[in-house]
Amino acid sequence: MPALFDKEIIISLSDTDHDITYIQYSFLSIVLTANIQLDDKFDKIDESYNDGLVLFVGLKSGSNIIREYTIYHRGKTIDGSLQNVARTESFIYNSIKTKFEKNNRKRIHSLYENIHNFDTSACGTYISMREIEELIGNQTSVPYTIPIRFEVSIPLDDLMIFSAFTDYPNGLFGDLKIKFKINPHAFVFCQVNPIISTAKYYTMNKDKLLSSSQQKLMDTDFMFRNWCLTFQDINQFTQLGCTADLITGLHAELLTESGLKNLICDIKPVTISINNYIITEVKDIMAGYKATDVYLN
């Protein structure tokens, strides 16, 4: 059953016969569908560039999606976790985690530099300007609404109540459940470095571009050769609901009849917010073993 906006989610992590031996390799997987709102159509970007310019929408860390949680162990409520703010806990715990661990786990932690490299560790989704323009379609009222969908992975040891169990690998045995709510204020966005995202699009679609439009290749090459520091990367995420300076227009302007051109980049404040969401799937992946009658005998 999908979980609607601001509704509680409860999932069983183990049963009475399950021994969790590697809590650090156990995690929750959440699939989320949301409607986000933008106050710009990004329709002033030339056809040659709107596939290469990309927005990232997601989370800094997967565990930020949990607002508060309650743990049930063998039918009892674990005291002290009901009002915990999971975002604060994950920030504290991630501050001591190694960068290597953050970089090598899928859909868990969005390091800012990894977003621009389209790393698999990124916790969110990428949307090109072409996709935004097509999804907005004929909408006329501001803000414009578009759907997004992505998967989030939450390591259980990112939650403070589980973080110490790596020292006691057989400490959890029995019926274990977690109940939590989604934090709608945890989502962030940024615009991927245009040169990197355009180069990636060019590399992935080179054969298609070579066999179709030579003009698009020429325009892309013109962008690479004439890009300047007009767009200053601020090296930070912006929370959904807030405003950030984004590239909303990019085109080549003809200066002379001989064909001399100038690259025009329009930058303006854009507000992106989340309207609503639905959790379509929640599952847990627990590392451990289960005792059976055959094994015990």
Higher-pLDDT residue of 277 and 83 is 277
How far, in Å, CA of 97 to CA of 90, rounded?
A: 10
In a domain? residue 57:
yes
Write down the pLDDT at residue 126.
Answer: 94
Give the pair of three-digit tokens for residue 41. 């159509």
How far, in Å, CA of 241 to CA of 12, rounded?
A: 33
132-188, pLDDT tens digit by residue? 999 998 898 989 999 999 999 888 877 777 776 665 555 555 678 888 888 888 899
In a domain? residue 198:
yes
Give the confidence band of 82 by pLDDT, cuts at 50, 70, 90: very low
Average pLDDT (270-274) is 94
Write down the pLDDT at residue 149.
Answer: 93
How far, in Å, CA of 146 to CA of 240, rounded?
A: 14
In a domain? residue 121:
yes
Give the pair of three-digit tokens for residue 271. 């507000």
How many domains are contained in the chain? 1
Has residue 110 got a pLDDT over 60? Answer: yes
pTM of the entire structure?
0.83
In a domain? residue 1:
no
Write down the pLDDT at residue 274.
Answer: 92
Has residue 230 got a pLDDT over 70? Answer: no
In a domain? residue 2:
no
Q: Residue 153: which domain range?
A: 9-291
Contact residues for 79 (Cβ-Cβ < 8 A; gap 6+): none
Q: For residue 146, what are the β-bridge partners?
A: 36
Write down the pLDDT at residue 1.
Answer: 45
Q: Tell me the residue type at 124.
A: G
* Weakest-pLDDT range from 98-102, 141-145, 188-192, 285-289: 98-102
* Weakest-pLDDT range from 207-211, 225-229, 236-240: 225-229
In a domain? residue 102:
yes
Write down the pLDDT at residue 103.
Answer: 53
How far, in Å, CA of 100 to CA of 88, rounded?
A: 22
Cβ atoms 193, 234 nearer than 8 A: no
Has residue 100 got a pLDDT over 70? Answer: no
Select from 270, 252, 272 the least CA-distant residue to 261: 252
The percentage of residues in the chain with a pLDDT greater than 70, rounded to a whole number, is: 77
In a domain? residue 297:
no
How far, in Å, CA of 41 to CA of 129, rounded?
A: 9
In a domain? residue 211:
yes
Residue 67 buriedness (CB in 10 A; 0-12 / 13-18 / 19+):
middle
Average pLDDT (231-235) is 63
How far, in Å, CA of 31 to CA of 106, rounded?
A: 14
* Weakest-pLDDT range from 78-92, 135-149, 215-229: 78-92
Write down the pLDDT at residue 43.
Answer: 86
Average pLDDT (214-232) is 73
